[in-house]
Amino acid sequence: MTRTHCPYCALQCAMHVEPAPGGRWAARPADFPVNRGGLCRKGWTAAELLTHPDRLTAPLLRTDRTAELRPVDWDTALDHVAGRLRALRADHGPDAVGVFGSGGLTNEKSYLLGKFARLALGTSRIDYNGRFCMSSATAAGNRAFGLDRGLPFPVTDLSGAETVLLAGANPAETMPPLMGHLSAPRLIVVDPRRTATAQAALDAGGIHLAPRPGTDTALALGLLHAARAQGLADEDYIRARTTGFETAWEQAVPWWPEHAEQVTGVGAHLVRDAARALGEAARGQGAYVLTGRGAEQHAKGTDTASAWINLALALGLPGRRGSGYGCLTGQGNGQGGREHGQKADQLPGYRKITDPAAREQVAAVWGVDPADIPGPGISAYELLEALGAPGGPRALLVFGSNPAVSAPAAARVRDRLAATDLLVVADFVLSETAALADVVLPVAQWAEEEGTMTNLEGRVLRRRKALDPPPGVRTDLEVIAGLAARLGRPAREFPADAGTVLAELRAATAGAPADYSGITPERLEAGEALHWPAPAGRTPGGPPAPATPRLFLEGFAHPDGRARFTPVAHRPPAEQPGEGFPLVLTTGRTMGHYQSGAQTRRIGELAEAEPGAWVEVHPDTAAEHGLSARGWARLTSRRGTMLARVRLRRTARRDTVFAPFHYGGAQTANDLTNPALDPVSRMPEFKVAAVRIEPAPPPAPEAAPHPARSTGPTGGSR
Ligand code: SF4
């Protein structure tokens, strides 16, 4: 029995992995403060994929796009990839090769992938799917606090609060064990849908605010207005610990609750009630404001996250024990994945790639001249959009991601992937992206490898190996090392051993904002709670220097120690419903599936529970558009179409439909979503797309999502 952590979301529930009858493996919950002995159904069933017949166990290669992928040996596959990369770089320069990473990769993989891109490939063109996840909250957190860590406090602190506001987060479905920490506080849930979390809030005497999609900024401004108008702003805190309040307040002045009601559709009385509940809790037992993707995945997501942070600052929450602001990170290593260099503008330790001192420090650890490290690249969607275009990458290496399903305007992205000269995908199943590739490299899964993950509270965790990968499978680190060697880099620069990579990562992050230098294998093994920054060194004559479970208690990370208010104004979504597209589509996750579903759609219990895409529609809206319960509907936006079964819900908004994004083929919700980008975070507008909906015949069998035990191409990212 091996103690490790769940392969899926950022809660990183602890689990034991153990052999089960019939050569299979099973996952069982383990005691850990975050999950307190609980797992969701995804965690319980995670081990099923370890022995799944869909596992890839040999590299696949095709020499032209009209040919079938055929099994080859590793040397043939890696020699082919390295040869093509060398030729493309010689003909078109190093930026002709792009790299697309993932918030699901371990810290060690994220680190080595960033180093591989910059040194072995010499390219600036690296970004990752975390750009589609937490980047707006990251940008807002950095500008407000000078540092971004999803939750700057342990998740266990939440249960002591009197009130928690959840803006655009649905943990009752996406990370159910988190609800155990939210059972005592009164919940205020901001979501256009009556989600399971919103219903739980209402059932327990909380509040559900259901704004029109894309009006969250106005709602946050209305709450700030209502809180101060009721005398609940913490003026002493604002004076002592922040700057910029007056200019931010000027933006909130016009947003009296009746004005907010006109724009958001949320009743003025509810705005006042919510502001009072939060403000009184701030003065009482404590309050938290937490944001999720619903608030952040917009072309104005950074400003919306800033609006929620402004509210939290005005109430005096951040940097106080028992209160705070946080972002609920989504992907398993969404936190660590954004800290160690696979983001276009970052070097390890959350260092800025444009900072000369940061470049020097990292270059010294890498043993290169700072000038050898390329400058900033372009964001994830821009990278995908540029594939095969003049001046854009002609080759793409994908690790742990499936942009053919998970990127916005996914049909367009599939066209761009097809426009490359070389597409290489490392994955353990044949995802939609892998099915388009020239070379597919079969890699190990979570329970077959060592490494570290950083959960949503910035706590670094040990991922332990429970079993060997199947014969023919290599780890991502071995793949990177093998390619780097073939590109002429010395073996010592790209070790394939996770412990060696962690040692280098610790050195590269020493003194950085996300300092991992004190995170030793021994401390991890001992189960110490190591939230970064965790600097190396010892207390005088005593134990190792402490890690940092709670940030900002003494001051914020700006030079003057004060948090920054950011003046933000409401602006409408990039695309409004209108003629031809009268409804708003918003998308999200469900209980049974994870991201684009490569893993969860193959797991029998999960696939049976939620076998295909569905669309949630109000009965009146359904009647108006000729839809019937459980019938099929075609949704169409300006970018594409999808098919989904109709689910009628009386609690749905009449102007909005909802579809999960876990499915591929004809049921790909992201074929409809809008790639309009946030000007700061470069986050696409996943949450608002203008659509029309109409009855449709059932999808053809080949267009349906693949069954759990298919041996053909299926969908989803890791
Ligand atoms: S998916 Fe998330 S909530 Fe569910 S068991 Fe895994 S880590 Fe826990």
CB 688 within 8 A of CB 674: yes
> Residue type at 454?
T
Tokens of 37: 């002995």
The pLDDT assigned to 718 comes to: 46
The pLDDT assigned to 358 comes to: 97
Tokens of 243: 């700057």
The SS3 of residue 336 is: helix
Classify residue 224: in a domain, yes or no: yes
**Same domain as 495, residue 348:** yes
Q: What is the distance in A from the centroid of ligand 1 to the CA of 602?
A: 17
Tokens of 116: 């591989």
**Same domain as 355, residue 490:** yes
The continuous run of DSSP H or E covering 279 comes out as helix 268-283
Classify residue 87: in a domain, yes or no: yes
CB 595 within 8 A of CB 715: no
Give me the half-sphere count of Cα atoms (radius 13 Å) on the Cβ side of residue 645: 10
**Same domain as 690, residue 638:** yes
Classify residue 164: in a domain, yes or no: yes
Classify residue 612: in a domain, yes or no: yes
Q: What is the distance in A from the centroid of ligand 1 to the CA of 344?
A: 28
The pLDDT assigned to 362 comes to: 98
If you ran DSSP here, which 8-state letter would residue 638 be given? S
Dist CA 10 CA 99 (whole Å): 23
Number of domain units in the chain: 4
Nearest CA, atom 8, ligand 1:
13
The pLDDT assigned to 713 comes to: 28
Range of the structural domain that residue 23 is part of: 2-51
**Same domain as 149, residue 10:** no
| Closest to 654 (Cα-Cα) out of 289, 193, 191, 234 | 193
The pLDDT assigned to 702 comes to: 58
**Same domain as 643, residue 498:** no
User: Which atom belonging to ligand 1 lies closest to the Cα atom of 176?
Assistant: 3
**Same domain as 140, residue 123:** no
The pLDDT assigned to 273 comes to: 98
Phi-psi region of 136 (alpha: psi -120 to 50; beta: other; left: phi over 0): alpha
Classify residue 457: in a domain, yes or no: no
Q: What is the CATH number of the domain that holds 38?
A: 2.20.25.90
The pLDDT assigned to 706 comes to: 46
**Same domain as 46, residue 107:** no
**Same domain as 353, residue 320:** no
The pLDDT assigned to 693 comes to: 98
Q: What is the CATH number of the domain that holds 377?
A: 3.40.50.740
| Closest to 207 (Cα-Cα) out of 160, 277, 147 | 277
Domain end, chosen from 328, 357, 385, is at: 328
Nearest CA, atom 3, ligand 1:
175
**Same domain as 107, residue 89:** yes
> Residue type at 497?
D
Q: What is the distance in A from the centroid of ligand 1 to the CA of 290?
A: 18
pLDDT 10s digits, 85-141: 999 999 999 999 999 999 999 999 999 999 999 999 999 999 999 899 889 999 999
The pLDDT assigned to 545 comes to: 87
Residues with CB under 6 A from ligand 1: 6, 8-9, 11-13, 35, 39-40, 42-43, 175-177
Dist CA 527 CA 31 (whole Å): 12
The pLDDT assigned to 707 comes to: 41
Classify residue 300: in a domain, yes or no: yes
Classify residue 522: in a domain, yes or no: no
pLDDT < 70: residue spans in the chain: 702-718
User: Which atom belonging to ligand 1 lies closest to the Cα atom of 35?
Assistant: 8
Ligand 1 pocket test, candidate residues 32, 175, 461, 606, most atoms within 8 A of CB: 175
The pLDDT assigned to 134 comes to: 87
Q: What is the CATH number of the domain that holds 677?
A: 2.40.40.20
* Ordered alpha helix ranges (H), 212-267: 216-229, 235-241, 245-252, 257-264
**Same domain as 360, residue 263:** no
Classify residue 480: in a domain, yes or no: yes
**Same domain as 344, residue 300:** no
Domain end, chosen from 452, 487, 508, is at: 508
| Closest to 136 (Cα-Cα) out of 673, 683, 574, 685 | 683
